[in-house]
Structure 1
Amino acid sequence: MIGIVVSGHINFATGVESAVKAIAGEQEQMEFVDFVESMSTDELEQALRAAAKRVDSGEGVLFLTDIPGGSPANRALTILMDTENVELIGGANLPMVANAAFERDDTTVKELVTTLLEIGSSCMQDMRLQLELFMEPEPECEDGL
């Protein structure tokens, strides 16, 4: 099973953790690391490395972070650069993290990245547009049928 480490600013990770538990139940090999105000970026990297070691069963580790280019993503990128079979998605959302719990068996880390990127982007919708499409009247048939 692919290990998952979720990280983000302040309580992003633990907030997502509570939602994932409600959606998918308690997860093995999935850890959540908050980057809180009292932490240095070196401490964050140490926490991410430790979490990655705990969740890695040899099938790889996927980091899911909140903001591409933010400290959690940057420190996970440092780990990606010196550790084999590690991938990173910056800008992860709840549908991606929840689906990671369901999609991480019988796949590779790179395939999981592709799947989660598709899920994440397909879940973002303009809800006003969706409502307007739903509310559009059915077109009338010209032949009266």
Structure 2
Amino acid sequence: MKPKLILMSHGNMAAETLHSAKMIVGELIDAEVVSMTEADGMYGTTKKLVQILDSLGNRQVLILADLKGGTPCNVGMMQMSEHPNLRVLSGLNLAMVIEAAVSQIEQIDELTDYLCGIGKNAIEKIELPELDDEDGYEE
């Protein structure tokens, strides 16, 4: 069984990223969302996550959090000691969510390593190609 995916972020980033991924790959994504509000803080965010984790039992879970060192990521990290099948990746982006949806990888550590690479490779400076004089625009 593939690991369960939980997207966590400040505000609605996680929910909107999931929505965007579903626009691209449809309902292939089996994911939960924890959106931290300004009022949640550490306590409220922990409560939201623990409720989801408790419903999953001993299932493998991968959290994709928006920002390393931010509350959503820290809350996920603090749950790792109580949930040995839990892994956390920071740097949530659309490419990672899409790949998690379509990947057939079932082993949690292998999937975590794979998605880490996908996330890093999704970041690239885009530049216009240089035109030679022969490729120039005709008037």
- Please say which structure displays the higher CA radius of gyration: 1
Q: TM-score range by the shorter chain?
A: 0.7 to 0.9
In structure 2, what is the equivalent of residue 51 of structure 1?
52
Unaligned runs of 5+ in 2: 133-139
Q: Distance in 2 between matches of 1:136 and 1:58?
A: 57
The answer for the alignment partner of 2:125 in structure 1 is 126
Shift of 1:107: 2.3
Q: Which residue of 2 aligns with 1:114?
A: 113
- Conservation of the 8 A alpha-carbon contact between 1:59 and 1:109: no
Change (3 A) 1:46 1:9: same
Inter-partner Cα distance in structure 1 for 2:119 and 2:69: 18
Give the superposition deviation at 1:27: 4.4
Bigger shift: 27-36 or 71-80? 27-36
2: CA distance, partners of 1:136 / 1:45: 53
1:23 is displaced (CA, Å) by 1.4
Instruction: Give 1:96's aligned residue.
Output: 96
Give the aligned partner of residue 18 of structure 1. Answer: 19
> What is the DSSP-based 3-state SS (H/G/I as helix, E as strand, rest coil) of the residue aligned with 1:81?
coil
Amino acid at match of 2:107: T
Name the residue aligned to 2:135: none
Query: Residues 3 and 52 of structure 1 are in contact (CA less than 8 Å); yes or no, is this contact kept in structure 2?
Result: no
Which portions of structure 1, spanning 4 or more consecutive aligned residues, are displaced by more than 3 angstroms?
A: 56-59
* Distance across 2 between alignment mates of 1:92 and 1:9: 11
C-alpha RMSD over aligned residues: 2.0
Q: Offset of 1:28 from its aligned partner?
A: 5.7
Distance 1:118 1:71 in 2: 23
Change (3 A) 1:84 1:12: same
